Amino acid sequence: MEATQEKQPPHNIALLPPPGFIGHFIPFIELAKKLVYRHSCTATLIIIPDDGSPMNPQKAAFLRGLPPTIKTILLPPVSTDDLAENINVEMLVPIRVIRSLPALRETLTFLRDDSSCSQASALVLDLFAPHAIDVAKEFNIPAYIFYVVAANELSFCIDLPKYDELCTSEYNDMPEPIKLPGSLVLNPNDIPDAIKERNSDLHKLGLDLCRRILFADGIMVNSFLELESEAFKDLETRLHDIPPVYAVGPLIRTGAETESDRGSECLNWLNEQPPNSVLFVSFGSGGTLSIEQFHQLALGLEMSEQRFLWVVRRPQENAAGAYLNINNDKGSGSFDEFLPHGFLERTKGRGLVVPSWAPQIQVLRHASTGGFVTHCGWNSILESVVFGVPLIAWPLCFEHKMNAVFLTDGLKAALRVKENEETGIVYRDHIAMIVKGLIQGEEGKQLRIVMSHFQNAASNVLSQNGSSTKALAQVVKKWISGN
């Protein structure tokens, strides 16, 4: 009798998203789904708590409903009581990763030794977690960075140590302007805030992260070739100095979004509006504005006389700090106290204001949505591209200003708000003008044509024979074969 060959268990891919940033967490969920549904792997999401609590409620919501082939392991919280209360979020996140490395090591040991689990065939890390590369090497498994933001930023990150050597004082005083691929020039104000203060602890940490990324076995980027052709060409010329780079995006949210009552309110209201007539205003999972800017935006929307759907969050002076307090609006009722007197009455029927959250995917794909005011987070940009929605770029912090340069000067897919040079405020007259131009003007029509082109390209790259589909398959093949 011929012996039956024992069936091999599916390959298990361990994924390590960062603590904090929901915008980084979502692409990791979507990558796990791709690995399970399209490549017959299993996936283990290793979750580092955001603070002392067991699980961020917003992250828990994204984990609900995942298939059993995607498992979740929650690492124990680490203490950050010794750190300054106002520590920069971009320092806090990698510090939490570093302090969680012993627990990560224990988790990979458990996956290796427990008979009920499959040993990890690869470890996929966030760009804020390259310190975990050394742990992966201890277990002789490949470590891949999942770069969940733009390929343009990856090029900038790779070049940052070089810029640091050229710069003798501050980046404002560099002899040559900093450029992104495609000859896009970065204004000094467009450089991420985290690295502007040279010789600061934050700057040194940023340099360290950029250098450590290059020790990965590969880098997957949540973008696609047609969207960032110049950036990927630039990265391809560096292959003798950097790990192989794979364009595997756009990986955006899939499946139904939860908070049904507010979601129904938004969608029912949109159903009553004409096609391409509504401006969607939302600043991401944690983005918010100062009180003065909040008022100017409200008055600008009113002056524009255009329809709008505005996701409102409590005003806060520190835009970056708001990203670690994204639940501070939960359960809050009316936002009347933060809005100009009479604003809701004067814009009733033409505008809808919702607190904290809206079903962004459903809003962007809706036929009534004609534009999107965005903070230029990469997830929001990709979602706009997938649904062909033209943009008003209103960058807040982190790499958002670099993304705004790429959107406006590179893709020609967005209008950018202009801040007053003295106050840093975008005033109501300018807001009204740019909103009207996007929804009713000739510039808005041109942006829709551009976004329609990239929408078609995004659909093609994710098809069965598309470039992003093939790139991810190539990576998985390497993991499975052990090469």
Active centre residues (catalytic): 24, 126
Tell me the chain's radius of gyration from C-alpha atoms: 23
User: Hey, how many other C-beta atoms are within 10 angstroms of the C-beta on 249?
Assistant: 31
